Structure 1
Amino acid sequence: MDEFRGKVITDADLTEFRNQLAQYEDSQLGTFYKYFWEDLLYILESLDTLSILRELNFRNPISLEHYQALKKQCGATIFAQMLLEDINASGRDSVLGFWESLFVLQNEHPHPNLLGVLDELIQTAEILGQQIMLDGNGPDQAPDLKSCQKQHRENLLEKNENLVEHRAPGLTNESQSFNISERYLDLIVVSSHRFRSRPQHELIATGGIHEHILQKNQSYLERITPNRLFRWCHRKRCVPQTVLVSGVPGVGKTTLMQKFVYDWAKGKLYQRFAFVFFFKFRNLNNKDELSLVEMIVDEYPYLHSQLERIFHNPEHLLFIFDGLDESRGQIDLKQKQLSSDPLSKQTVNTIVSSLVSQTLLKGCSVLITSRPTRLTAVETSVFSRISEIMGFFPKEREKYFQHFFSDYTMAQKAFHYVRENGMLYTFCYIPSYCWIICTVLSMCFRGQKNKFTSTVEFLPKTVTQLFASFLSNILANHCQGGSIDKNFLISIGWMAESGVNSHILSFTKDDLETFSVDTSSHLVTSFLMESGQSPNVSYSFLHLTIQEFMAALVHYLDYSPERLQKALDDAKSHVDGRGEIFLRFISGLSDSSTRSLLKPYVGDLSVQASKHVISFLQKSIPTPQTQNIDYRKVLNVFACLAESRNKALVSSSIGSNTHFEFSEFFLAPLDCTVLAFILESCKGTEVLDLGSCFIQTEGLERISPSLHTVTEVRLTNNNLRDEDVSRIYSILTHPQCRIQKFSLRNNGLTEESCLPLALAINENKSLRDLDLSKNKLAGADFYQLLAVLSDPTCKIERLALQEAKLTPEYCDSLLSLNNNTNLVFLNISSNFFGNAGYPHIQRLILTHPSLKEIKLGMNDFSEETEKNLLQLQKRRPEVVVTL
């Protein structure tokens, strides 16, 4: 994160900054404060609380205790809001002191949003007030252009004011629409430049990094709210004119653009743009050659007579192109054949490239959205700002469920079910997944009283079961009006598979005819959405993952050994991960209980296909002798096994592999869920090394139900916290716990963890080796932990308390370890015992009944004390003393 490294602030810098702010009147300072309000909230939520409060207190004395307690009681968001409001209410000196505090804090806390705000305040100081007014009021317009602009706003409002929420067939025959302001939930957009390599399926990859980014990189996560997209970019040191927003399918790119356009049309956002033109690439696919004027007039015919005058001020124009990944033509943003004439007929590629390159309407702004995978083949350096939609934060996930279900109790029940199911919850950062999950669970919980009740009430446990349930809901509804056309499902399945292999999301009428898809079938609208107007109509699946599910299902509907084997080999060979979800679905359908969900509507699915897939999985499982194991490929196979729910297959194929080493390999929460299933199926695992895997809270939550089955568990260096010890307690106190060796070395545990650890050790019957090194355990509660470790009934044989922040006063209590007659190894090195602790440690070495080895190095002993400690070995040669 070098671009976010803070500068070293000198006294001269601070004086210059203070003098610059002093020039502004109170009204101007108030305008700036309001303008940066959302940024300041996020900065205060992200920065170290004590650091900001100390800086503020240094300039304007405040109650540190009050605000620290406020954050602890009410959370970071309420704390930030209250602090900002209090500063604003306290007057000019407090506001100036606040800005100075932020300016100084960039030394030690170079948060990108903090640097961006300070940069914008300093670099654009002379014009910032004018820019704020321009964004609020817009540029001056001639009366007739103002009238034209009003008509344009009304048109965009009409098109974008409602969010359409699809409902499951059987719940209601009509989609429901809501005002976008009432139903829109914040999507997290962050600065990103991660498009060069995509070795994983984008949904899995983004789902994996989602919690990783939110938890580990909070201090370096540059959040880009919609009103920041075209504001000063700290990374590029400019106000961007070309902006790229990427995001996986269904994460909300189009919804974000819809809200952006709606807010502009309502006068709430970026009024610097006199006209916004919103296009979707999928609607431009059938355009061979056209001019920019024709492109605009096709979409907005009422602008025809005014376009020439509108083009006179290109700096007041914004072009939005949504869905680059849905463009059937290659978009080369670095091409040399560019256009400068709005009337010249060109390909869509040339027009878009010319706008981005500023040869066409120089000074205009361009905003493009795309899936990440499409961007690996696009020159993204032409964009001034690149951002990525990360989807929902956990709070927004829960809000979505509350919005979907009118019944609060049912919403809570559904969310709780998903929260407890790692397979489903991990994908809930994607709004469209939330919709599919809610759709299925609403049918399950309502338990409609018809002959298909047993199917409807089936609660999905895997992603395959989720989509099988979703499809069964659709088919159940259509069964009421007649029989299901199995041939239609087969035709659409083969088209889906072709699209997955070719990265095609949008299909033409010719594509449907090629695969014999009957567009007159009553099932069409349940799977495909139409875009454009006749004769230029295109079709796409409701969601890419539905397309991937149908691509897998067709092999069970129309089994061919040759086609299935080719599909499996192709999916496995794709280096960009495009086949991963397909493989998980085809593996999941090998489970008979999953296939039974669809049996009432399509009959028996191929058992031969199931056997074929199981054989494929068996051959894919790496053996213990495999050299240079690719952990990602191993986890992909494990994920397929988890989807298959085939514990017997896992046990027979992996059971002989008793060591799982994932050290220093990032494990996402979904990976942990998959590993939990593998461990549960094997039951005889000897070693599980999760050191430096960054599993953290959610990862531990996902894997904890199966950790008790392992003999040796290593959770070293995972940034676990005191709040995670409740999970560790449940693991160690499980009635069938097999753990003999447990490492929690180098985590974030403090004395608050000591009591629950003590209770767990006291109840546990298997533990023999415990490493608690490099945790800050010193404190009053440490004595309770020590008491349990010193109990005559304690079975711990090897104990490591290296670098636990222990001081001389603990040495006397360490003598109580004499009561543990099982202890043979003790590591208490790298503490702070000093010479004062020597008498107690000497006595421990000389009197402990079973001790064989003790490590004491790096404890601030004098040379003489170290010499005396080593000489103790002569008096008791059976104890090895290491310094």
Structure 2
Amino acid sequence: QPTLLKEIYTELYITEGGIETASKKRATEDTAVKCHDIFKPLNGRVTPIRTVLTKGVAGIGKTVSVHKFILDWAEGKANQDIHFIFALPFRDLNLIKDEYSLIDLLHHFLPELKSLESTELFRYKVLLIFDGLDECRLPLDFQNNESWFDLTKKTSLDVLLTNLIKGNLLPSALLWITSRPAAANQISPECVHRVTEIRGFNDAQKEEYFRKRFIDQSLASRIITHVKSSRSLFIMCHIPVFCWISATVFERIFSEIDSGEIPRTLTEMYTHFLIFQASLKNEKYMENGGTKLNNCSKSSKELLLKLGKLAFHNLEKGNLIFYEQDLAENGIDVTEASVYSGVCTEVFKEEYGLYQEKVYCFVHLSIQEYLAALYVFLSNSSADLLKTAVDEALRSKNGHLDLYLRFLLGLSTDSSEILLQRLPAQTRFSSHNIKQTAQYIKKKIQENLSAERTINLFHCLNELGDNSLTEEVQRYLSSGSLSAADLSPAQWSALAFVLLMSDKELDVFDLKKYIRSDEVILHTSVTKEQIWQNKNLLLQVLNVTKLEQSKMCIIQ
């Protein structure tokens, strides 16, 4: 049953500034921003803000924040100085092939406003929201695209967008762009007046989400207790979509007598989630019920693999919306897809798109990324598959294969094999192959990668169950002292990861206990919660060591 956004919505922790601005701030200057205040100058500033770029990892709540902003505006609760809001998601813009003028483009999305003349746009305060820059398939060539100033003259969508963002077209309009971090650099920095970062839920907000999610408060309490029992699970729940997946999984697990092993990693959680969704179809149509994929009917197994094929081939192309032709090309019958979307409403959905044509999509991009990894895992037996996937993900300009890589590596472990037993075309990876992959990832961590890629590789090691780098750092910590010369850049990155993701409680992190320096000893103690909420505190560790690469990793 659908739930109204205002009933389930939990406030997110949003800060002003990204990596670049955070590195120039002191720890105490981390500025929180309310979602509905992102266009309002803070701290006495008077410079107007035209373009806001909001960054955040997959599932952190970017799209939901957009919806909440629009809802509050529509209900008269905030931003009433804005007359029109045009929400133009990149996944919809990707479908546009013809040339348009800006006014025609707005009429195309909202035919009800065809009476609105181009000259009238300048009389109103307009907000244009471009959600999901990481899903954009346009080149966005800011350097070479021609300048464009005419609202009524047709041109390519790429030229329209770059000139809108530059301020050549409709300079009086406000612009809000959301993106995963790795894709955010597609926008020229001089075009952005404010950068915000969505960091997800803090600990109190995690509990609030679960209590809003369940009417049965005893069930909510039980789930909260279990999630808190695993530090890694509890920390991962700062990502709202992970809270949603976890709530679905644990509700089902706690309703069963024999639920088996409780998931501990991202991949295991998504695997349980898909298992339960597949079993819903079985129960609905009186097939062989059960909660393990090996108890699902043959048709359910086959459909999951077909969906995985659809997910993978379109993830490579950057396609997130599918038509009947796309389904047919991947062996999916339209009727079968409609039935699946009607039952498994949290995996695959059928809707009417921009042109009122029936289209299909996965409920969340992370679901598509998981199913793509599942398909590749089950249909390949190459010994170099995992290593090749690491290289492909690192070559990706916008990071669109990062989460897919984590899932693919997680599926190769013994724990995932138990969950996926008896699926057709099962692929086995030897422990030797997995160890080789882990070593290869650790070698890559030593290279000069971006902050986002380095942290993602640590998550990949977690999925593989390899904690050797973090264990090395923990041994240094337990020795009682730590000098800048003791650790490599990769180990400094691991130190940040230990502090943020360790299963062991670290109530107080006393910097002077661990860091020796000829220049300065940092006399400060901070709680782990403060470290998580304010990553700039970790900069103090790196400022002592002067390791700029690791500093960037720790900020991210």
2:363 is matched with 542
2:348 is matched with 528
1:703 is matched with 504
Q: Tell me how far 1:382 sits from its aligned partner.
A: 0.4
In 2, the alpha carbon distance for the partners of 1:330 and 1:247 equals: 21
Amino acid at match of 2:428: A
Larger radius of gyration between Structure 1 and Structure 2 = 1
Superposed counterparts of 1:449-460, under 5 Å: 454=258, 456=259, 458-460=261-263
* SS class of match (1:176): coil
In 1, the alpha carbon distance for the partners of 2:425 and 2:328 equals: 25
In 1, the alpha carbon distance for the partners of 2:220 and 2:492 equals: 35
TM-aligned CA distance change 1:229 to 1:568, over 3 Å? closer
2:511 is matched with 717
Q: Tell me how far 1:435 sits from its aligned partner.
A: 0.3
1:595 is matched with 417
Q: Tell me how far 1:397 sits from its aligned partner.
A: 1.0
Superposed counterparts of 1:26-37, under 5 Å: none
Q: Tell me how far 1:622 sits from its aligned partner.
A: 4.3
The question of whether the paired residues in 2 share the 8 Å contact of 1:245 and 1:367 is answered with yes
* SS class of match (2:511): coil
Q: Tell me how far 1:573 sits from its aligned partner.
A: 4.7
Normalised to the residue count of structure 1, the TM-score between the two structures is 0.48
* SS class of match (1:251): coil
* SS class of match (1:240): coil
* SS class of match (1:320): strand
Q: Structure 2 residue aligned with 1:349, among 149, 152, 158?
A: 158
In 1, the alpha carbon distance for the partners of 2:425 and 2:234 equals: 28
In 2, the alpha carbon distance for the partners of 1:746 and 1:251 equals: 33
1:420 is matched with 229
1:475 is matched with 278
2:391 is matched with 570
Q: Structure 1 residue aligned with 2:108, among 276, 298, 319?
A: 298
Q: Tell me how far 1:719 sits from its aligned partner.
A: 7.6
* SS class of match (1:231): coil
Greater CA deviation, 540-549 or 363-372? 540-549
The question of whether the paired residues in 1 share the 8 Å contact of 2:312 and 2:376 is answered with no
For residues 723-742 of structure 1, the C-alpha deviation after alignment (integer angstroms, 9 at most, x for no partner) is xxxxxxxxxxxxxxxxxxxx
Superposed counterparts of 1:426-437, under 5 Å: 426-437=235-246
The question of whether the paired residues in 2 share the 8 Å contact of 1:236 and 1:384 is answered with no
In 2, the alpha carbon distance for the partners of 1:540 and 1:627 equals: 34
2:167 is matched with 358
2:47 is matched with 238
Normalised to the residue count of structure 2, the TM-score between the two structures is 0.73
Q: Structure 2 residue aligned with 1:466, among 269, 286, 295?
A: 269
Superposed counterparts of 1:195-594, under 5 Å: 219-232=28-41, 238-287=47-96, 288-308=98-118, 310-314=120-124, 316-333=125-142, 336-447=145-256, 454=258, 456=259, 458-480=261-283, 481=285, 482=287, 483=297, 484-501=299-316, 504-507=319-322, 511-521=326-336, 522-524=339-341, 526=344, 527-530=347-350, 532-533=353-354, 539-561=360-382, 564=385, 567-568=388-389, 570-571=391-392, 573-574=394-395, 579-594=401-416
In 2, the alpha carbon distance for the partners of 1:478 and 1:749 equals: 53
Superposed counterparts of 1:807-826, under 5 Å: none
* SS class of match (1:366): strand
TM-aligned CA distance change 1:394 to 1:405, over 3 Å? same
Q: Structure 1 residue 619 and structure 2 residue 424: aligned?
A: no
Greater CA deviation, 558-567 or 236-245? 558-567
TM-aligned CA distance change 1:398 to 1:561, over 3 Å? same
For residues 97-133 of structure 1, the C-alpha deviation after alignment (integer angstroms, 9 at most, x for no partner) is xxxxxxxxxxxxxxxxxxxxxxxxxxxxxxxxxxxxx
In 2, the alpha carbon distance for the partners of 1:252 and 1:557 equals: 31
In 1, the alpha carbon distance for the partners of 2:41 and 2:461 equals: 48
In 1, the alpha carbon distance for the partners of 2:384 and 2:350 equals: 29
Q: Tell me how far 1:551 sits from its aligned partner.
A: 2.5
Q: Tell me how far 1:414 sits from its aligned partner.
A: 0.8
Q: Tell me how far 1:444 sits from its aligned partner.
A: 0.7
Q: Tell me how far 1:319 sits from its aligned partner.
A: 1.9
Q: Tell me how far 1:502 sits from its aligned partner.
A: 5.2
For residues 201-244 of structure 1, the C-alpha deviation after alignment (integer angstroms, 9 at most, x for no partner) is xxxxxxxx9xx99xx96511122223432223679961112222
Superposed counterparts of 1:664-813, under 5 Å: 693=495, 702-703=503-504, 717=511, 748=524
TM-aligned CA distance change 1:262 to 1:747, over 3 Å? same
Q: Structure 2 residue aligned with 1:190, among 3, 12, 15?
A: 15
In 2, the alpha carbon distance for the partners of 1:317 and 1:270 equals: 11
* SS class of match (1:520): helix
Q: Tell me how far 1:263 sits from its aligned partner.
A: 1.9
For structure 1, the 5+ residue unaligned runs are 1-174, 197-208, 448-452, 666-688, 706-714, 721-744, 751-883
1:806 is matched with none
* SS class of match (1:263): helix
The question of whether the paired residues in 2 share the 8 Å contact of 1:285 and 1:328 is answered with yes
In 1, the alpha carbon distance for the partners of 2:152 and 2:128 equals: 17
In 1, the alpha carbon distance for the partners of 2:135 and 2:15 equals: 23
Q: Tell me how far 1:586 sits from its aligned partner.
A: 3.1
* SS class of match (1:446): coil
In 2, the alpha carbon distance for the partners of 1:569 and 1:239 equals: 43
The question of whether the paired residues in 1 share the 8 Å contact of 2:445 and 2:457 is answered with no
In 2, the alpha carbon distance for the partners of 1:717 and 1:555 equals: 44
In 2, the alpha carbon distance for the partners of 1:695 and 1:284 equals: 37
Amino acid at match of 2:433: F
In 1, the alpha carbon distance for the partners of 2:493 and 2:461 equals: 24
Q: Structure 1 residue 609 and structure 2 residue 428: aligned?
A: yes
* SS class of match (1:389): strand
Q: Tell me how far 1:404 sits from its aligned partner.
A: 0.9
Q: Tell me how far 1:534 sits from its aligned partner.
A: 5.2
TM-aligned CA distance change 1:294 to 1:537, over 3 Å? farther
RMSD: 4.3
Amino acid at match of 1:317: V
For residues 694-713 of structure 1, the C-alpha deviation after alignment (integer angstroms, 9 at most, x for no partner) is 579765x62369xxxxxxxx
In 2, the alpha carbon distance for the partners of 1:247 and 1:431 equals: 11
In 2, the alpha carbon distance for the partners of 1:749 and 1:659 equals: 18
In 1, the alpha carbon distance for the partners of 2:133 and 2:153 equals: 22
In 2, the alpha carbon distance for the partners of 1:485 and 1:399 equals: 35
For structure 2, the 5+ residue unaligned runs are 288-296, 485-490, 515-520, 527-556
For residues 414-465 of structure 1, the C-alpha deviation after alignment (integer angstroms, 9 at most, x for no partner) is 1121122233222212211110011100001122xxxxx63x4542122221
The question of whether the paired residues in 2 share the 8 Å contact of 1:661 and 1:690 is answered with no
In 2, the alpha carbon distance for the partners of 1:718 and 1:694 equals: 16
Q: Tell me how far 1:327 sits from its aligned partner.
A: 2.5
Amino acid at match of 1:431: P
Greater CA deviation, 408-417 or 236-245? 236-245
Q: Tell me how far 1:485 sits from its aligned partner.
A: 3.9
Q: Tell me how far 1:504 sits from its aligned partner.
A: 4.9
Superposed counterparts of 1:149-164, under 5 Å: none
* SS class of match (2:335): coil
Amino acid at match of 2:423: G
In 2, the alpha carbon distance for the partners of 1:635 and 1:290 equals: 41
TM-aligned CA distance change 1:641 to 1:231, over 3 Å? closer
In 1, the alpha carbon distance for the partners of 2:90 and 2:493 equals: 45
In 2, the alpha carbon distance for the partners of 1:380 and 1:470 equals: 39
2:540 is matched with none
